[in-house]
Amino acid sequence: MCGIVGVIAKRPAAGLLLEGLRRLEYRGYDSAGLATLEGGKIARRRARGKIRALEDRLREEPLPGVTGIGHTRWATHGKPNEANAHPHATGQVAVVHNGIIENYKELRRELEQKGCVFQSETDTETVAHLLSVYLREGASPAEAAAKALPRLEGAFALAMIFAGHEGLVIGARRGSPLAVGHGEGEMYLGSDALALAPLTSRVTYLEEGDWAELTADGAVFHDAGNNIVSREAQQTALSGAMIGKAGYRHFMLKEIFEQPGVVGDTLASLIDPETGRVALPDLPFKWNAIQKISIVACGTAYYAAKTAKYWFEQVAGLPVEVDIASEYRYRSPPLHDKGALMVISQSGETADTLAALRFAGERGQKTLAVVNVPGSSIARAADGVLQTHAGPEIGVASTKAFTAQLAVLACLALDCARTRGAVDETRLDALTQALRAVPGHINAVLQKSASIREAAQILAEARDMLYLGRGLYYPIALEGALKLKEISYIHAEGYAAGELKHGPIALIDEDMPVVVVAPHDALFEKTASNIQEVMARGAKVLVVTDEKGASSLDPPPFWQLALPEIDPFAAPLVCVVPLQVLAYETALAKGTDVDQPRNLAKSVTVE
Ligand code: AGP
């Protein structure tokens, strides 16, 4: 979950490296550092904390040189301090790393026996010393890389520069993403295309096991067997401008307000404007050929999967198994011979989800990925891909990607329902129309942000909270709790409202606010009883409902928000928005770091 960059430039490298790191800071921000070649020697500047600490350091002591590498860290091995900050270097080589070197301890012992003196607690430093041993034995940088890489176990993306080798950067990828950027007489490396967007829109993604020698003339790609291979460059749609806050105080707020457009764009990519019906690209499986689908993801994407389960089972009659990626592959799930696997991932780089995808694919399951980054590892590993059109999501707390995922999943469920003949055309048209009305409903909800801000002032004082929902709103309650806990650091737990009496109600007192997601549907009366039960025990209850629900809650809860009347099928895409705003405003009231919450990173590329 770190970000790495490298440049071979015709201008000072430090500024370009910093620009790239700023775009990768969402991947980790415990420390940051640069290394360049100055007079053929390696020079480093590192700082604990965010990029701005490194910027201050560079103002004190600028870093010359036109060849360099940079890193922003999410600590895996070793405390987040300057000594453990990347780049790690010897006199011969400097290295930055994203991932985990799982055999670093045995390598370290071997290298210490060879007289290597370590300065840090990190796994990464073993790579610098291993390369140095080969270089001291007379190997060229490329030969040293070719010898060292096979000795490493684990997942990594690396960038390296070598003393005395101006104009050379070597990058390697195994399990963690790495992209080569093609400039005009310049070459770049970045953990993803986002880092390279201000420099170039022509990128080449390294394949699994690849390593590449970059010089000002271009890149030479080697596969895991050290054979020279060709890799296609592609044009990305990203631009530097897409990464700005566009005047919003935080990326998260910008991305919450982008949702009407994002959901609209995503639906437009899946619904034929002529017929008004769902029109998907070919899927890697036929709905009539499968009898069950497993949907696997992590975090917010997992809650999108849980929501999809209700849609597929209620509308299409297709059995769905949903699991957390880190559990799925280790529980040896019996794979249905008429089954398929779907994974959901905003980044397309989540290690657990990628591993689950590979687990199922290796066992003959057809796999479909719903991702937000088209060139990502998960997109390239799946048999088929459906893209969410959320654009770059920078805030660590996922918002617009979630509603875009729901839009894709709802369309998939409708496509499945039609193919299986589970719903007639009239009903299908009504459900599709309900989806197409979602952007407008989200917009209407966002106009009520001031009221949500008032409620947030109460939550900011809380230490613990419960989020409740039934049916389709249960996964939304889970997602609302995750949003709150990950950016405000308040302990919040999502629960099926019907489970309250089976334990959690013991937690209820006047210090435990309860958020309830309950538009007026077939289950509303049951949830209304739950609301009364917790109010009777002193809880402040905040309810997200609709006009009909608001008018029937008597006595009224502490706070309620009435959503526009929405077809229950499409309601989850709208009900989540007030919970996103609630989490944002609560975090703001608490003064936490909304876009880069402590201990987190945007893309979890380690298991
Ligand atoms: C959500 O707000 C979190 N940032 C996190 O749970 C995230 O959803 C999870 O890590 C999965 O990420 P992905 O969608 O990129 O795979």
Atom 9 of ligand 1 has which residue's CA nearest to it? 299
Half-sphere exposure of 461 (CA within 13 A, CB side): 9
End-to-end CA distance of the chain: 10
For the chain, domains (ranges, CATH) are 3-242 (3.60.20.10), 247-436 (3.40.50.10490), 447-607 (3.40.50.10490)
* Residues 89 and 42: beta-carbon distance below 8 Å: yes
* Residues 448 and 561: beta-carbon distance below 8 Å: yes
Q: Residue 138: CB partners within 8 Å, gap ≥ 6?
A: none
Per-residue pLDDT of 4-63, as tens digits, reads 999 999 999 999 999 889 888 777 778 899 999 999 999 999 999 888 899 999 999 999
For residue 390, the CA-to-ligand 1 centroid distance in Å is 14
Question: What DSSP character marks residue 123?
Answer: S
Per-chain mean pLDDT for the chain: 93
Flag the least confident range among 300-304, 347-351, 413-417: 347-351
Please state the length of the chain.
Answer: 607
Q: Which two tokens stand for residue 101?
A: 């070197």
**Banded pLDDT at 146 (limits 50, 70, 90):** very high
Q: Give percent of the chain with pLDDT exceeding 90.
A: 80
Distances in whole angstroms, Cα of residue 317 to Cα of each of 42, 85, 288, 314, 476: 62, 52, 12, 6, 21
Instruction: Give CA–CA dist 97/458, Å, rounded.
Output: 43
String of b and e for 279-291 (b: at least 16 CB within 10 Å)?
ebeebbbebeebe
Instruction: Give CA–CA dist 180/175, Å, rounded.
Output: 16
* Residues 351 and 377: beta-carbon distance below 8 Å: no
Question: What DSSP character marks residue 312?
Answer: I
Per-residue pLDDT of 519-574, as tens digits, reads 999 999 999 999 999 999 999 999 999 999 999 999 999 999 999 888 999 999 99
Instruction: Give CA–CA dist 288/318, Å, rounded.
Output: 10
Instruction: Give CA–CA dist 357/366, Å, rounded.
Output: 10
Residue 9's nearest CA partner among 190, 168, 239 is: 168
* Residues 155 and 175: beta-carbon distance below 8 Å: yes
Cα-flanking dihedrals φ and ψ of residue 261, to 5°? -70, -40
**Ligand 1 neighbourhood includes 372 CB (under 6 angstroms):** no
**Banded pLDDT at 241 (limits 50, 70, 90):** low
On the question of pLDDT at 246 being above 90, the answer is no
pLDDT of 363: 94
Q: DSSP alpha helices (H): ranges in 197-258?
A: 251-257
Question: What DSSP character marks residue 55?
Answer: H
Instruction: Give CA–CA dist 4/403, Å, rounded.
Output: 29
Question: What DSSP character marks residue 564?
Answer: P
Per-residue pLDDT of 252-283, as tens digits, reads 999 999 999 899 999 999 999 888 899 999 99
For residue 299, the CA-to-ligand 1 centroid distance in Å is 5
**Banded pLDDT at 1 (limits 50, 70, 90):** low
CA torsion through residues 345, 348, 353, 356, sign: positive
* Residues 553 and 577: beta-carbon distance below 8 Å: no
Q: Which two tokens stand for residue 424?
A: 């007639």
**Ligand 1 neighbourhood includes 596 CB (under 6 angstroms):** no
For residue 406, the CA-to-ligand 1 centroid distance in Å is 14
* Residues 6 and 34: beta-carbon distance below 8 Å: no
**Ligand 1 neighbourhood includes 545 CB (under 6 angstroms):** no
DSSP assignments along 9-33, one per residue: -SS-HHHHHHHHHHHHGGG--SEEE
Per-residue pLDDT of 405-438, as tens digits, reads 999 999 999 999 999 999 999 999 999 999 999 9
Atom 5 of ligand 1 has which residue's CA nearest to it? 299
pLDDT of 605: 74
Flag the least confident range among 8-22, 231-245, 380-394, 503-517: 231-245
**Banded pLDDT at 287 (limits 50, 70, 90):** very high
Q: Quick one: which atom of ligand 1 is closest to the CA of 350?
A: 16
pLDDT of 433: 94
Atom 7 of ligand 1 has which residue's CA nearest to it? 299
* Residues 318 and 309: beta-carbon distance below 8 Å: no
On the question of pLDDT at 397 being above 80, the answer is yes
* Residues 551 and 456: beta-carbon distance below 8 Å: no
Residue 222's nearest CA partner among 214, 232, 235, 213 is: 213
On the question of pLDDT at 242 being above 70, the answer is no
Arithmetic mean of pLDDT, 81-104? 91
The whole model's pTM is what?
0.80
**Ligand 1 neighbourhood includes 255 CB (under 6 angstroms):** no
For residue 432, the CA-to-ligand 1 centroid distance in Å is 27
Arithmetic mean of pLDDT, 287-296? 96
Is 338 annotated in the active site? no
Is 2 annotated in the active site? yes
Query: How far does CA 325 lie from the centroid of its chain?
Result: 14
pLDDT of 240: 60
Q: Give percent of the chain with pLDDT exceeding 70.
A: 99
Arithmetic mean of pLDDT, 75-80? 74
**Ligand 1 neighbourhood includes 326 CB (under 6 angstroms):** no
Instruction: Give CA–CA dist 603/606, Å, rounded.
Output: 9
Query: How far does CA 182 lie from the centroid of its chain?
Result: 25
**Banded pLDDT at 193 (limits 50, 70, 90):** confident
Instruction: Give CA–CA dist 183/196, Å, rounded.
Output: 10
For residue 603, the CA-to-ligand 1 centroid distance in Å is 7
Q: Quick one: which atom of ligand 1 is closest to the CA of 486?
A: 2
**Banded pLDDT at 155 (limits 50, 70, 90):** confident
Question: What DSSP character marks residue 175?
Answer: B
Instruction: Give CA–CA dist 356/326, Å, rounded.
Output: 8
Query: How far does CA 335 lie from the centroid of its chain?
Result: 27
